Structure 1
Amino acid sequence: NLYGGTGTFCKNLVLGLKKKYKSKYHISLICFDSQGFTQDDYNLFDYLIIIGKSCNKDLRRFYEFPYYYYKIGKEIKKINPEIVFSIGTYMNVLMSLLLPKDIKIILSEHDVPSIRTNLSHYGKIINHFIKRIYYDKICIGVSKGVLNDLSENYKLKRLRLIYYGIDIELVQKLSLSENTSDIPNFPYIVSVGRLNVQKDFRTLIYAYNYAMKKGLDIDLVIIGDGEEELKLRELIKNLSLVKRIHLLGYKKNPYPYIRNAKIFILSSIWEGFPYVLLESMALRVPIISTNCKSGPAELLNYGEYGELVNVGNIEELGEAMYSLYYNKERLKMLSLKLIERSKFFSLDRMISEYDQLFEEVNNENR
């Protein structure tokens, strides 16, 4: 679907290709469900098919494989593409097994496969598939950390690094939207992400509680929804922080909430390449992030453009929140530097690199 960072990537890629190269690309999209779609998204693709069944993102519903195999195979025959660009482990495995030899395929990984598969009931099977069917195909990694995982744990050779790109002007424009009546009118720290185990909001809440006890006097706003919401609300209640921590739910446009924050925090246990950090950079909001696999350290140039803390370390994250908020010079300096850093990850650069890759693959064996 088009929810989250990979959804943003997909839309940015298609928009960028069509804007820069006009009619050169005829782009179809096959996806599992419509989560994250807007009406503009439906108009973006030349052909769009939603399989109509939700794919469990932790890969545990591997038994649905035959259903997807049949449905997607039928659509591929109808589209008859020159190139298939596959996004994510599940779809990579499915398409590698499904596609006939005369259709060229490019795989892409937007997460750290070895971590995700270790959380799956079918992890060993998926790891076997990755090693056996990825080996002769080009596979894009969205960070050096993802590429290292694919190289070290799966011994893959045909690897390419293409960082995400961001449309800075668009993000800044959307951040000025006035259709956001629930933006807090008091100072706050913000975090944005799906309320699940990966994003580790429990550590963030405990760290905020730690910083409050040190004297931190600023609220915490969390944007997102997910399966951990009730547990997080209970934790907030147990810590007597209901009046200071605000769970505002999913926002189609989170940028006004980010722009108005004093600090952005990413507390994830792992990532592939967190798009939301790019968006925070574009909005000049200072960042504290866990130094997780993978992406944050590369984005922040190993601490030059933001604070990095160890994964799951409550005291370290709490200390970083307290120290950065009260270090006004550091906050100002980071705010000034971040917009320049975000320009390194321009959308135009990403689009050019993908166009070059598609040209190269399309011309193979001609």
Structure 2
Amino acid sequence: MKKNVVIRSGSLRMGGLERVLIEVLQNIDRNKFNLHLIIEDDCGEDNIFQRDIPEDLEYSFLKPKKLRDFTEYFKNRKKNIFYKMGYNLMMTVESIYTFYKLKRLLKNMGNIDVLVDYDTGASKYIDKLNVKKKIGWIHNSIPNLKRKESKIKRYGKRLDKYDHIVAICDEMKEEIESIYPFLRGRVSRIYNPFNFNRINSLSLDKSQCNKRDLEMLQERYYIGVSRLDTNQKDYDTLLKGYKRALEKGMKEKLYIVGDGPSKKEIKDKIEELGLKNSVYLLGQKKNPYIWIKNSLGFVHSSKFEGFGLVLVEAQILGKSVISSNCPVGPREILGNGEYGLIYKVGDFQELSEKFLEISNNESLRKSYEEKSKIRAKDFNSNGILREYENLIEGIN
């Protein structure tokens, strides 16, 4: 008899977690499960991945866009004490509204065998939901995500209410078990799945490129793909390291694909460093793969990660990869330097040397390109999706 399974996640906006979710929904063996999808935030036109949900899969949003927008209105003005109070009130209203709507949806679905909380966004009230088994999926380094000791401790109490926890890399699994020893025996590692055929196909698709895009693709350039958010992404080191490499004779340009709240701050930094003719912010791209495919190499500068999906995507496309050695993910993906170049977080001098190594040493670059293809095979979706299925089938 097929299990009734609900997957709950936060949004369908452009992001790594969301891309992985769609990969799972499109390729998991639906003959084994009665599958339902619940998404917390309806982001309207920013539901980038909504069109990629399988047509025959039932899904629901918990929080209407108007409610979310009203909360954002207060959030953006919360330096004012009145708006801060309003924001705190709206956060409480949202939480209560979301909980009761989720509870009602689950009740209407009947007996739910497994709830997969794909971003642990329901952890506040997971123990109050009437489902048989609960799996929490963790996609980020906990100390960097929560930061304050009190929040880390509170998060652990919430995780203890799940029947099983999944970490997306070995380093993260070890981190979770070290911080929360009481979870040992309930944590497993399942890598994120990647659809090689889809990524390779999109890397050749120029249908969305205008004339200027096609001209830019002919240049020699490095590419970075990440959210423009300086809380997590280390753009200061990236831009300083790139500038130092230019000063030492490097000629390649730097393209950055992505959007986010720190766009103006990053643009100002580019101006300040005199890089406006060398660094280009390309904005959000539904298909970043053609830009990765045509690059000289992929560069990633982050303070912390959950895994680093884009590193694997660059490896699938046979690119040499340069990444900061941040927690967690990049070190594991790059085999501690065997499959790509890593540099200390915040060390722009070391980053500049990595740029120059790839730019000036063709044989080294080609060696890393071949190693990237070898390492990428460990992340093929077929075997990983079987791990998803085995976990859901085996939890009793």
Superposition deviation, residue 162 in structure 1? 0.5
Aligned to 2:228: 195
Question: Secondary structure in 2 aligned to 1:202?
Answer: helix
Change (3 A) 1:49 1:94: farther
Equivalent residue number for residue 128 of structure 2: 98
Q: 1:356 to 1:295 in 2, by over 3 A?
A: same
Gaps of 5+ in 1: none
Task: Give, in whole Å, the separation in 1 of the partners of 2:152 and 2:336.
Answer: 32
Matched to 2:98, the amino acid is Y
1:138 is matched with which residue? 164
- The equivalent of 2:188 in structure 1 is 160
Which of 20, 24, 33 lines up with 2:32 in the alignment? 24
Q: Secondary structure at the match of 2:298?
A: strand
Q: Structure 1 pair 39/357, CA: closer, same or farther in 2 (3 Å)?
A: closer
In the other structure, the counterpart of 1:5 is 16
Task: Compare 163-172 and 180-189 and name the one that shifted more.
Answer: 180-189
Are 1:111 and 2:140 matched, yes or no? yes
2:25 to 6, 9, 14: 14
Asked if residue 222 in structure 1 is aligned to residue 256 in structure 2, the reply is: yes
Query: Mean alpha-carbon deviation: is it higher for 203-212 or for 73-82?
Result: 73-82
Q: For structure 2, which runs of at least 5 residues remain unmatched after alignment?
A: 1-10, 73-87
The residue aligned with 1:76 is 106
Gap change, CA 1:349 and 1:256, over 3 Å in 2? same
Q: Deviations over 1:327-362 (max 9, x none)?
A: 10011111122112111111011111011111101x
Secondary structure at the aligned position of 1:246 is classed as strand
Moved more, 189-198 or 141-150: 141-150
2:81 aligned with 1:52: no
| CA drift at 1:36 | 4.4
> What SS does the aligned partner of 1:302 have?
helix
Shift of 1:312: 1.2
1:33 equivalent among 39, 42, 54? 42
Q: For 2:154, which of 103, 112, 128 is the aligned residue?
A: 128
Tell me how far 1:149 sits from its aligned partner.
1.9
Whether 2:345 is the aligned partner of 1:337: answer no
Distance in 1 (CA, whole Å) between partners of 2:248 and 2:128 is 57
CA contact (8 A) 2:22 2:49 kept: no
How big is the alpha-carbon RMSD for the aligned residues of Structure 1 and Structure 2?
2.1
Contact 1:204 1:267 (8 Å CA) reproduced: yes
Comparing 5-14 with 60-69, greater Cα deviation is found at: 60-69
What is the CA distance between 1:28 and its match in structure 2?
1.6
Which shows bigger deviation, 227-236 or 143-152? 143-152
User: Residues 55-86 of structure 1, C-alpha deviation per residue, up to 9 Å, x if partnerless?
Assistant: 99xxx986442232122222222233321101
State the TM-score, normalizing by the size of structure 2. 0.83
Distance (whole Å) between structure 2 residues aligned to residue 196 and residue 39 of structure 1: 23
Identity %: 28
What CA deviation, in whole Å up to 9, does each residue of 1:190-245 have, x standing for no partner? Answer: 00010002111221111111111111111000000001100111111111111100
Change (3 A) 1:14 1:42: closer
Aligned pairs, number: 351
For residues 36 and 337 of structure 1, the distance between their equivalents in structure 2, rounded to whole angstroms, comes to: 35
Equivalent residue number for residue 77 of structure 2: none
Preserved contact between residue 26 and residue 53 of structure 2 (Cα < 8 Å): no
Structure 1 residues 305 and 126, CA, compared in 2 at 3 Å: closer, same or farther? closer
Classify 1:44/1:247 alpha carbon distance in 2 versus 1 (closer, same or farther; 3 Å). same
Q: CA deviation at 1:107?
A: 0.7
CA shift in 2, pair 1:30/1:132, >3 Å: closer
Aligned in 2, Cα 1:274/1:95: closer, same or farther, shift over 3 Å?
A: farther
- Seen in structure 2, the aligned counterparts of structure 1 residues 143 and 44 have a Cα distance that, compared at 3 Å, is farther
State the partner residue of 1:234.
Answer: 268
Counterparts in 2 of 1:4 and 1:331: CA distance versus 1, 3 Å: same
SS at match of 2:337: coil
1:147 CA displacement: 1.1
Shift of 1:166: 0.9
SS in 2 for 1:194: coil
Partners of 1:286 and 1:292 lie apart in 2 by 18
Tell me which residue corresponds to 2:173: 147
Is the contact made by 1:117 and 1:127 (CA closer than 8 Å) also made in structure 2? no
Deviation at 1:89, TM superposition (A): 3.6
Are residues 1:212 and 2:238 paired? no
Q: 1:263 to 1:271 in 2, by over 3 A?
A: same
Q: CA deviation at 1:172?
A: 0.2
Q: CA deviation at 1:131?
A: 2.7
Aligned equivalents of 2:198, 2:387: Cα separation in 1:
20
Q: In 2, distance between residues paired with 1:176 and 1:87?
A: 31
